């Protein structure tokens, strides 16, 4: 029904915001992460929305990016997770962090969300592992840096991730560290591994 709402940020509360669009105030539920990223009240914002319809109520949920909205919808498809649970996950993990956790099988990271237990976290991994691709994170990073992606570069990244996990880091930690690196064409697996280790030492 609503793809997004663009207007003035009028009010904020505990887990909700109000956007004024042409004199109509749209109240929507949002994640804790979104609350931290909001501009000052009175600023124009663009919020992507999801309308949840029940027999006795309609609720609007808001997101700062299409990617967050996409991940929210995927979480809703997981058995046992409703809108509030999906929002709770996105309150403790960004869309990319959730990809890292799912691909890396890091149930503990997902279970940090309020109301999400260990069994539900495992179910998220089981049901989303074929729907979330870690390559999407690397592609976004490369596009942002305007760097062409080569097969050899991707292989070096994957080998560096495998080396990090062999050193005892979790798969999600390894994936996250490598994705944040600015990787140049002359960097091989060893260079990427050293850069990732250096970065992780300062985390």
Chain-centre distance for alpha carbon 95: 1
Domain positions in the chain = 4-63, 66-128, 134-201
| pLDDT value of residue 59 | 93
How far the first Cα of the chain sits from its last, in Å, is: 42
| pLDDT value of residue 136 | 64
Q: How many CA atoms lie within 13 A of 86 on its CB side?
A: 24
The superfamily CATH assigns to domain 66-128 is 5' to 3' exonuclease, C-terminal subdomain (1.10.150.20)
Query: How would you write the pLDDT of the chain (203 residues) with one tens digit per residue?
Result: 789 999 999 999 999 999 999 999 999 999 999 999 999 999 999 999 999 998 888 999 999 999 999 999 999 999 989 999 999 999 999 888 898 888 878 899 899 999 999 999 999 999 998 888 666 665 554 444 444 444 556 677 778 877 877 777 776 777 778 877 877 777 888 888 888 888 777 55
Sign of CA dihedral 103, 105, 108, 112: positive
Q: What 3-state DSSP class applies to 18?
A: strand
E strand residue ranges, 97-202: none
Q: Is 51 left (phi over 0), alpha (psi -120 to 50) or beta?
A: beta
CATH code of domain 4-63: 2.40.50.140
DSSP β-bridge partners for residue 16: 13, 29
Structure tokens that stand for 12 in this block:
């904020």
The superfamily CATH assigns to domain 134-201 is Ubiquitin-associated (UBA) domain (1.10.8.10)
Entry pTM: 0.73
E strand residue ranges, 56-192: 58-63
The reply to whether domains 66-128 and 134-201 share a CATH topology is no
| pLDDT value of residue 137 | 60
Q: Round to whole Å and give the CA distance between 64 and 95.
A: 11
Do 68 and 96 form a contact (C-beta atoms < 8 A)? no
Nearest Cα neighbor of 119 from 81, 172, 165 is 81
Structure tokens that stand for 32 in this block:
């804790």
Q: Round to whole Å and give the CA distance between 1 and 39.
A: 26
Nearest Cα neighbor of 16 from 24, 26, 6 is 26
| pLDDT value of residue 63 | 97
């Amino acid at each position: 029904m609503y793809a997004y709402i663009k207007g003035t940020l009028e009010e904020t509360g505990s887990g909700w915001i109000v956007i004024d669009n042409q004199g109509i105030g749209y109240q929507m539920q949002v994640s804790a992460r979104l609350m931290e990223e909001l501009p000052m009240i009175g600023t124009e914002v663009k919020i992507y929305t999801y309308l949840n319809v029940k027999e006795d109520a309609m609720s609007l949920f808001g997101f700062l990016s299409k990617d967050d909205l996409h991940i929210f919808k995927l979480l809703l498809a997981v058995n046992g997770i409703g809108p509030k649970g999906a929002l709770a996950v996105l309150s403790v993990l960004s869309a990319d962090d959730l990809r890292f956790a799912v691909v890396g099988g890091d149930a503990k990271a997902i279970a940090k969300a309020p109301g999400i237990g260990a069994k539900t976290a495992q179910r998220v991994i089981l049901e989303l592992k074929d729907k979330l691709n870690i390559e999407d994170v690397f592609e976004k990073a490369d596009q942002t840096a305007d760097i062409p992606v080569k097969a050899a570069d991707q292989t070096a990244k994957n080998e560096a991730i495998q080396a990090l996990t062999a050193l005892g880091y979790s798969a999600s930690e390894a994936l996250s560290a490598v994705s944040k690196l600015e990787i140049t064409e002359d960097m091989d697996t060893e260079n990427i591994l050293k850069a990732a280790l250096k970065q992780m030492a300062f985390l």
